[in-house]
């Protein structure tokens, strides 16, 4: 696959990328890469996929006249416009099908990020889909597992786990022909900042309570107790709970604390839990205000009595016995309201 040249095909129409743009992408992502990356269709298609990401994330956003297209459509454009790929256009369907099959065999690594109480884990939601999953992604060529995990988590959440990752602390499963390894990153502060570093890949990032996720099953696609759609989460829950039971969290769990998410995740918190929390807070405020109002009222009575006694020179009377707020036998008790 050496001797790649730029094509001179006619410009595309109907919002598709024109010839000049396709030529530029072909030159940037395929022509000027090491020759070893041009020796197989798997590597070529990975390069085409990178070009597609660049087109979607940058070119389309900056040019409203261009439309978003699928990877398969983009692959067809690249094959029909790059001279070195043109001879394989008749086989493009089989090439793309083989590439799709190959992708599901590429090892995946990522992280299970736990908060300080080990009660919550961080999940991410895809840009177009409705499923939530642990931050993870496919390994690059010759990339080590832990390096891939650090890179993928940083890209999807903006959080650097390189200093928290321990190479021996991970859970691993195989789905079909694909190995998935998730490193356990424990003790992350709940108010840590998260923001995806890549465009159009992650739409939401949220803390989710482990006890609200569906009990461990072998189903790759499942739903949590709150109806949350999960992808490649449930199969890891049983092993994760075993790991948690063997490790002490930095902060003791608070069972009376309502679940709390990050950013848009608050919408998954039960409305009943929110109402209960607000009522408890309001009740505490009312209790405190009631106490201090009662105390102020009794002090006012004492001051009036003191002025009365002073006026009639009854100085020998002990004012403290006339002041109910100093009487240890009074029925009013702090924090219990007015009895």
Tokens of 5: 């040249």
- pLDDT given at position 339: 30
> For residue 46, which phi and psi values (nearest 5 degrees)?
-65, -40
What is the predicted pLDDT for the residue at 39? 77
pLDDT of residue 121: 97
Determine the length of the chain.
339
| pLDDT of res. 280 | 46
| 3-state SS, residue 9 | coil
d(C-alpha 170, C-alpha 166), whole Å = 8
- What is the reported pLDDT for 25? 92
Q: What is the pLDDT along the chain (339 residues), one digit of tens a residue?
A: 444 433 333 345 578 888 899 999 998 888 887 777 777 888 899 899 989 988 988 888 888 889 889 999 999 999 999 888 888 899 999 999 999 888 889 999 999 999 999 999 999 999 888 899 999 999 998 899 999 999 999 999 999 999 999 999 999 999 988 999 999 999 999 999 999 998 888 999 999 999 998 765 668 888 888 888 999 999 999 999 999 999 999 888 765 554 444 434 433 333 334 444 455 455 556 666 666 677 677 777 767 776 766 665 544 444 443 444 444 343 333 333 333
**How far is Cα 88 from Cα 249, in angstroms, rounded to an integer?**
56
CATH: 1.10.10.1050, 3.40.250.10, 3.60.20.10, 1.10.3720.10. Which one for 19-103?
A: 1.10.10.1050
Q: In Å, how far from its chain's centre is CA 185?
A: 14
What is the fold, at CATH topology level, of the domain defined by 108-269?
Answer: Nucleoside Triphosphate Pyrophosphohydrolase (3.90.79)
Dist CA 26 CA 4 (whole Å): 9
Structure tokens at 78: 């690249």
Write down the residue that tokens 């390069």 correspond to: 47
Q: Are 178 and 108 within 8 A, CB to CB? A: yes
How far is it, in rounded angstroms, from Cα 60 to Cα 55?
A: 6
Nearest to 207 by CA among 291, 116, 283, 126: 116
pLDDT value for 5:
39
């Amino acid at each position: 696959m050496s001797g790649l040249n730029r094509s001179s095909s006619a410009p595309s129409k109907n919002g598709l990328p024109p010839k000049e743009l396709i030529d530029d992408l072909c030159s940037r992502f395929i022509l000027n890469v090491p020759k070893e990356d041009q020796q197989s269709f798997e590597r070529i298609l990975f390069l085409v996929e990178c070009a597609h990401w660049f087109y979607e994330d940058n070119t389309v956003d900056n040019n409203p006249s261009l439309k978003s297209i699928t990877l398969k459509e983009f692959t067809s454009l690249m094959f029909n416009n790059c001279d070195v790929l043109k001879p394989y256009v008749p086989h493009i369907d089989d090439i793309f099908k083989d590439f799709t099959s190959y992708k599901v065999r590429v090892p995946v690594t990522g992280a299970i990020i736990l908060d300080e109480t080990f009660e919550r884990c961080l999940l991410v939601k895809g840009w177009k889909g409705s499923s939530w999953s642990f931050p993870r992604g496919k390994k690059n060529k010759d990339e080590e597992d832990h390096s891939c995990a650090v890179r993928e988590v940083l890209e999807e959440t903006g959080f650097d786990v390189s200093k928290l990752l321990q190479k021996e602390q991970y859970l691993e499963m195989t789905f079909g022909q694909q190995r998935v390894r998730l490193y356990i990153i424990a003790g992350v502060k709940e108010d840590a900042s998260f923001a995806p570093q890549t465009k159009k890949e992650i739409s939401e990032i949220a803390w989710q309570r482990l006890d609200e996720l569906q009990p461990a099953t072998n189903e790759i696609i499942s739903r949590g107790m709150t109806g949350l759609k999960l992808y490649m989460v449930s199969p890891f829950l049983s092993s994760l709970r075993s790991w948690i039971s063997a490790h002490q969290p930095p902060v003791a769990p608070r069972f009376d604390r309502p679940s709390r998410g990050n950013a848009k995740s608050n919408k998954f918190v039960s409305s009943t839990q929110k109402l209960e929390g607000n009522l408890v807070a309001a009740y505490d405020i009312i209790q405190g205000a009631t106490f201090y109002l009662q105390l102020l009222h009794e002090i006012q009575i004492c001051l009036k009595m003191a002025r009365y006694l002073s006026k009639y020179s009854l100085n020998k009377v002990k004012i403290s016995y006339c002041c109910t707020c100093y009487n240890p036998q009074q029925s009013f008790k702090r924090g219990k309201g007015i009895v």
